Amino acid sequence: MSIATVSRVVNGIANKASADTAARVWAAVQMLGYRPGSVGRALRHRQSRLVALIAANLANPAMAAIAASAEAALRAEGLVMVLCDSHDRPDLQDEYLLEMRAQLARATVLLGAVASGPLAAMTAAGDTLLFVNRRNPARSASPFVGIDNRRAGADVAAFLLARGIDRPGILHGDRASSATADRIAGFADALARAGGAARTATAALEHMEIGYRHALDVLPAAGGRRGIFCLSDLIAYGAHRRLAEAGLSVPRDVILVGFDDNPLNDWVAPWLSSVRVPYDRFGPAVVAGLQEMAQGRGVDTVLEHRLVVRGA
């Protein structure tokens, strides 16, 4: 039996081998545990089973939870997810983008994209790119899955205002992230409409370090209850430690509001109110978004968030 005959049978090319020959080929395949390579088929059909997911920071429990949801949903559709961590670095993101294109991945899901030349070029070229959590820094109209971050920021402002806090602090990372920028804008606009204002601090640090180093910087002078909006739960964890070291109790002296609502919060952070992001709904939304894109339609999917209040 020739190699060409085996190849035709394994790759499903009809009427090129007898039923007996095909049966012998598949018996050998089963005995050897062989899995047909997908690259050849991908080259012929310009499509593979691979879907790449490039996350900005898998050390963040929120991103890890979203990635897990996406993997389960893609697997249920018969697809294989390749997970990469860009560490919020454009050079690593570009390396993964170009490698996945070389591997003829069916699509690339960017969970927290950062601006780069190759990303802009691939957007312009019409590559199948789905943006999750952060919008495409190269083109805001690209297909997106996430929450309404501006509204979420406004919800936090309303929560603090209702508790008499109109000069809260705000701690955040890089404003280049659309998620960060929208949360800040929604928060600041809602405060301004009520006659309030925020004291803000940011730094090019890991999130817990931002909270730890700058929690005291954004607190107004003593007098009345105070609050800080932390744009991730990790920032809130760092802020909590620094406040405790300064002899301040959360939430008695300072209300902390985080973002993402890490599933561990009910166990380890009963003092932390937080905006809950619906992790489990991201996977099905990613699959639905990719299916829409396969039909030539690019849509936004906005998932519902809610503010979980603890101890405040």
* Terminal Cα-to-Cα distance of the chain (whole angstroms): 75
Q: Considering just the CA atoms, what is the radius of gyration of the chain in Å? A: 24
CA of 8: how far to CAs of 23, 25, 39, in Å?
13, 10, 15
Tens of pLDDT, residues 248-298: 999 999 999 999 998 889 999 999 999 999 999 999 999 999 999 999 888
Which pLDDT belongs to residue 145? 97
19 has a pLDDT exceeding 90: no
Residues 9, 22: contact at Cβ < 8 Å?
Answer: yes
Which pLDDT belongs to residue 298? 83
Tens of pLDDT, residues 300-311: 999 999 999 998
Q: Among 55-64, 107-116, 195-204, 272-281, which stretch is predicted with the lowest mean pLDDT?
A: 195-204
Question: Residue 39: pLDDT band by 50, 70, 90 thresholds?
Answer: very low
Tens of pLDDT, residues 40-65: 444 344 468 899 999 999 988 889 99
Per CATH, 48-142 and 149-276 having the same topology is answered: yes
Q: What are phi and psi of 107, to 5 degrees?
A: -160, 160
Measured in residues, the chain has a length of: 312
Grouping H, G, I as helix, E, B as strand and the rest as coil, residue 267 is helix
- Average pLDDT score over residue span 143-159: 97
Q: Among 28-32, 165-169, 230-234, which stretch is predicted with the lowest mean pLDDT?
A: 28-32
- How far is the C-alpha of 9 from the C-alpha of 17, rounded, in Å? 7
- How far is the C-alpha of 61 from the C-alpha of 259, rounded, in Å? 11
For the chain, what is the total number of helices (H) and then of strands (E)?
12, 12
Grouping H, G, I as helix, E, B as strand and the rest as coil, residue 19 is helix
Which pLDDT belongs to residue 159? 98
Q: Which two tokens stand for residue 244?
A: 């405790």
* Secondary structure percentages of the chain, helix, strand, coil, to 5: 45, 20, 35
Selection from 229, 223, 221, 216 nearest residue 188 by Cα? 229
Q: Where are the domains of the chain?
A: 3-36, 48-142, 149-276
- The answer regarding whether domain 149-276 maps to CATH 3.40.50.2300 reads yes
Which pLDDT belongs to residue 47? 61
Selection from 270, 310, 308, 311 nearest residue 152 by Cα? 308
Task: Give the H/E segment covering residue 50.
Answer: strand 50-55
Which pLDDT belongs to residue 141? 84
Peptide bond into 251 cis (omega under 30): yes
- How far is the C-alpha of 60 from the C-alpha of 290, rounded, in Å? 24
Tens of pLDDT, residues 82-101: 999 999 999 999 999 999 99
Residues 6, 25: contact at Cβ < 8 Å?
Answer: yes
Which pLDDT belongs to residue 38? 43
Superfamily of structural domain 48-142: Response regulator (3.40.50.2300)
